[in-house]
């Protein structure tokens, strides 16, 4: 009876630990399956950001880890093999493509980090009905500030501060 | 005689066929069992539809609409947006870099500061994240700020609020409103109010908070920030002896959160050159 209870408790403990594990992030292992999560993910010839591009995979492609080097993974895809920074893959298959956002302007039309992102129309009318004009003006200001940050200055900041794939 | 019997049989069959569709609308004497069976089938169908909606969650369009309205409520309740350009630039630059490595690339992430002395941070569905001026001015170096923002990103990445909404039964009318059809404002505002109540008052629950602590630590680390950023912030707050009336009021106790986080050393002072104030 005690052994049974102990076994049940162990099972519960293991299940609790599994439930508490953050989805999407885990330690990587060889032969593990991961998924691309950006529009285009270049697979590189070497584990460094400015290496030559071997091939490029689209959104939601299954990749198999062949080798691990620090924060970089050498992966195999249907399109070929190459190195990818671990932050650029997901351990669970992503549900929605980067272009799923209905309010997005075509990313090609802007050089900002994120395309212009106004409040949703339903939220705008919510603001009108609830005397939230000041809050709406605040969020509009916030969006303008965020939209003004360019991709170039972000990448420069990442290089200077050794962030993301620019870590050494 | 035979023809007469056949006519009677046909009449009875036709009457039965006419009565059956009505059985779900009203109790027909003598047909109680059939009526109950039809009710059961209808109930099962409704349950299946509810489960299906809960499993698939809201559409992205619905998530953004609800999240934006919740963001308006957060801004209203916490003194408006603190319009400090340098601080807003800093939270959007660091937050945006963290979000590049989040699982959800379908969102346009936004980071803002609330003009409030409280020490708190919030994430609205759809990718809007806020931290209070009181928290920002603790002060936070880049690793600590990244730790706080990464925790909030994980709440959205793992759909903590969306899952709570999808489990509820308040969704009727949201799709119509988002699609700008015959809108049910009351129902939309009920969902927005319920979501804001979870985010601002009740909290996501300790399980989701611990998940966001651990996931946020990993996200910060993967991005290149020190893993101990959030831990250091929690220790600073824990050492302040409750001087601030509102400190992470919707989260589990700081002690419990510290107990569960790995014992990472405090990050060294950031030298990113970004103004902290």
pLDDT per position as a tens digit, A100-117: 554 443 443 444 444 567
| Rounded Cα gap, residues B128 and B110, in angstroms | 5
| Rounded Cα gap, residues A18 and B68, in angstroms | 32
Residue B138, Cα to own-chain centre: how many angstroms?
27
Dmax (CA) of chain A? 68
- Quick one: angle between helices B85-99 and B142-157, nearest 10? 60
Residue B187, strand partner residues = none
Could you report the per-residue pLDDT of A31-80, keeping only the tens digit for each?
Answer: 999 999 998 999 999 999 999 999 999 999 999 999 999 999 999 999 99
Decide if B145 touches A, using CB distance below 8 A. no
If we measure between CA atoms, which residue out of B192, B183, B213, B220 comes closest to residue B77? B192
CA distances, B20 to each of B14, B29, B32, B38, B219 (Å): 10, 12, 11, 9, 59
Please say whether the beta carbons of B171 and B165 come within 8 A. yes
Chain B residues in contact with A86 (beta carbon < 8 A): 222
- SS3 state at B119: strand
Residue A56, strand partner residues = A42
CA distances, A129 to each of B65, B72, B100, B186, B189 (Å): 15, 12, 35, 11, 10
Count CA atoms closer than 13 A to A43's CA, side-chain side: 24
Decide if B68 touches A, using CB distance below 8 A. yes
Sign of the Cα torsion B152, A27, B58, A115 reads: positive
Q: Where are the domains of chain B?
A: 56-260
Closest approach of B193 to chain A, Cα-based (Å): 11
Decide if B225 touches A, using CB distance below 8 A. yes
Give B8's pLDDT tier (boundaries 50, 70, 90).
Answer: low
B76 → closest Cβ in A129, A135, A163 = A135
Give A140's pLDDT tier (boundaries 50, 70, 90).
Answer: very high
Residue B127 has pLDDT above 90, yes or no: yes
User: In terms of CA atoms, which chain A residue is nearest residue B212?
Assistant: A22
Chain B residues in contact with A122 (beta carbon < 8 A): 65, 68-69, 177-178, 180, 188
Spell out the residues 6+ positions from residue B70 whose beta carbon is closer than 8 angstroms to its own: B124, B125, B161, B192, B195, B196, B199
Chain A residues in contact with B185 (beta carbon < 8 A): 129
Chain B segment 103-122 residues within 8 A of A by beta carbon are 103-112
Closest approach of B19 to chain A, Cα-based (Å): 45
- Pair type for strands B128-132 and A62-69: unpaired
Closest approach of B28 to chain A, Cα-based (Å): 45
Chain B residues in contact with A20 (beta carbon < 8 A): 207, 210-211, 214
Residues of chain A by 3-state class (helix, strand, coil), percent to 5: 40, 25, 40
Spell out the residues 6+ positions from residue A91 whose beta carbon is closer than 8 angstroms to its own: A23, A24, A25, A26, A28, A32, A34, A35
| Rounded Cα gap, residues B117 and B105, in angstroms | 32
| Rounded Cα gap, residues B86 and A148, in angstroms | 12
B68 → closest Cβ in A87, A119, A163 = A119
Decide if B176 touches A, using CB distance below 8 A. no
pTM, to two decimals? 0.76
Question: pLDDT value at position B52?
Answer: 35
ipTM: 0.77
Decide if A104 touches B, using CB distance below 8 A. yes
Question: pLDDT value at position B268?
Answer: 79
Residue to substitute from B57, B60, B69, B210, interface A, most A β-carbons within 10 A: B69
- Is A146–B110 a contact, with Cβ atoms under 8 angstroms apart? yes
Specify the higher pLDDT residue, B69 or B181: B69
DSSP string, A88-120: GEESS--SS-GGG-TTPPPGGG--BSS---PPP
| Rounded Cα gap, residues A155 and A163, in angstroms | 9
Residue to substitute from A142, A143, A167, interface B, most B β-carbons within 10 A: A142
User: In terms of CA atoms, which chain A residue is nearest residue B113?
Assistant: A142
Give A10's pLDDT tier (boundaries 50, 70, 90).
Answer: low
Please say whether the beta carbons of B211 and B126 come within 8 A. no
> CATH second-level architecture of A24-90?
Roll (2.30)
A127 → closest Cβ in B72, B222, B225 = B72
Specify the higher pLDDT residue, A110 or A140: A140
Task: Read off the DSSP letter of residue B172.
Answer: T
B224: left (phi over 0), alpha (psi -120 to 50) or beta: left
Could you report the per-residue pLDDT of A124-133, keeping only the tens digit for each?
Answer: 999 999 999 9
Chain B residues in contact with A130 (beta carbon < 8 A): 72, 189
Decide if A133 touches B, using CB distance below 8 A. no
Chain A residues in contact with B178 (beta carbon < 8 A): 120, 122
Task: Read off the DSSP letter of residue B130.
Answer: E
């Amino acid at each position: 009876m005690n052994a049974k209870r102990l076994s049940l408790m162990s099972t519960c403990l293991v299940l609790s630990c599994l439930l508490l594990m953050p989805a999407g992030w885990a330690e990587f292992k060889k032969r593990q399956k991961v998924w691309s999560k950006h529009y285009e993910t270049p697979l590189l010839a070497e584990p460094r950001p400015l290496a030559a591009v071997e091939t490029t995979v689209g959104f939601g492609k299954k990749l198999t880890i062949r080798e691990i080097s620090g924060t970089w993974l050498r992966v195999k895809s249907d399109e070929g093999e190459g190195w990818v920074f671990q932050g650029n893959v997901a351990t669970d298959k992503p549900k929605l493509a980067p272009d799923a956002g209905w309010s997005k302007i075509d990313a090609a039309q802007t050089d900002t980090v994120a395309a212009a992102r106004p409040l949703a129309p339903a939220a705008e009318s919510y603001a009108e009905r609830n005397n939230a004009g000041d809050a709406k003006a605040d969020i509009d200001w916030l969006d303008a500030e965020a939209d003004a940050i360019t991709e170039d200055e972000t990448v420069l900041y990442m290089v200077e501060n050794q962030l993301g794939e620019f870590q050494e | 005689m035979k023809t007469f019997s056949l006519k009677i049989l046909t009449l009875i069959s036709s009457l039965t066929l006419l009565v059956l569709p009505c059985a779900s609308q009203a109790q027909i004497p003598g047909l109680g069992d059939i009526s109950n069976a039809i009710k059961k089938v209808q109930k099962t169908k409704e349950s299946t539809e509810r489960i299906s909606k809960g499993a698939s969650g809201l559409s992205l369009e619905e998530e953004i609409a609800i999240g934006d309205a919740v963001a308006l409520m957060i801004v209203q309740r916490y003194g408006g947006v603190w319009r400090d350009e340098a601080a807003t630039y800093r939270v959007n630059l660091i937050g945006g870099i963290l979000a590049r490595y989040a699982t959800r690339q379908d969102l346009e992430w936004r980071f803002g500061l609330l003009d409030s002395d409280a020490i708190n941070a919030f994430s609205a569905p759809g990718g809007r994240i806020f931290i209070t001026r009181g928290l920002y001015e603790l002060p936070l170096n880049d690793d600590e700020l990244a730790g706080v923002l990464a925790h909030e990103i994980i709440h959205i990445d793992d759909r903590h609020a969306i899952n709570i909404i999808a489990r509820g039964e308040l969704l009727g009318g949201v799709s119509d409103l988002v699609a700008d059809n015959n809108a049910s404002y009351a129902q939309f505002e009920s969902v927005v109010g319920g979501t804001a109540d979870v985010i601002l008052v009740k909290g996501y629950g300790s399980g989701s908070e611990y998940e966001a602590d651990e996931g946020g630590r990993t996200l910060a680390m993967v991005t290149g920030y020190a893993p101990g950023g959030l831990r250091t912030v929690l220790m600073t707050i824990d050492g302040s002896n409750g001087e601030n009336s509102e400190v992470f009021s919707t989260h589990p106790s700081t002690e419990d959160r510290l107990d569960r986080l790995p014992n990472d050393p405090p990050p060294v002072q950031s030298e990113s050159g970004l103004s902290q104030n």
